[in-house]
Amino acid sequence: MRTATIERQTKETSISVSLDLDGTGLYDVSTGIGFLDHMLEQLSRHSLMDLTVKATGDLHIDFHHTTEDTGIAIGEAFSEALGDRKGITRYGSALIPMDETLSRIALDVSNRPYLIWHVNFTKPKLGDMDTELFKEWFQAFAQASGITLHVENLYGENNHHIVESCYKGLARALRQAIEIDPRKADEVPSTKGML
């Protein structure tokens, strides 16, 4: 069973995450930030990972700490659920259209965290959420999960479509990368023998 539960407590946030990599895309998400909830639901649904997230944070200040710490907690749960990463396909990519928008995501579940972020927004906010916080979430997730992650919006006009295509692309690329390769299910996909 590739599952994990993480509890993250700081003076700024309190977050609980449960994750099942081999689920069916069931989710129960509540962060206090409506748009972030919507994106995490997309992540679960399109990756087929079951995801439960309960977060409370200092939203009276702004959404930064809750957004970043949610990315960290989900990333930690993802890494723990993968264990030694034996048998995984390791690489994943997705090209996701959403109306006028097209985004490309490529990743390596390498245990070497890195983020390349080529996404620009034309508005400072989506609803009440600062658009600059989406990079913070992806950075936190990549770092905590140990993945090399390239996120690129090729074109688009609608900021909602742009960010949603990025989350859906992450989901589809993760789904591909964590699949067990039946030809090498007992081996780590690296000449080093470990990831």
Q: Per-residue pLDDT tens for 79-112?
A: 999 999 999 999 999 999 999 999 999 999 999 9
Cα–Cα distance measured from residue 188 to residue 82, given in angstroms and rounded to the nearest whole number: 11
Burial (CB count within 10 angstroms: exposed 0-12, middle 13-18, buried 19+), residue 2: middle
pLDDT at 185: 86
| CATH of span 3-177 | 3.30.230.40
pLDDT at 194: 86
Cα separation, 156 vs 148, in Å, equals: 24
Quick: pLDDT tens for 23-48: 999 999 999 999 999 999 999 999 99
The pLDDT value given to residue 38: 97
- DSSP 3-state of 78: helix
* Per-residue burial over 29-43, b = 16 or more CB atoms within 10 Å of its CB, e = otherwise: bebebebbbbbbbbb
Q: Which helix (H) or strand (E) holds 65?
A: helix 64-82
Whether the full predicted model's pTM is greater than 0.95, yes or no, is yes
What average pLDDT score do residues 173-181 get? 97
Instruction: Tally Cβ neighbours within 10 Å of residue 11.
Output: 7
The region of weakest confidence among 53-62, 110-119, 144-153, 182-191 is 182-191
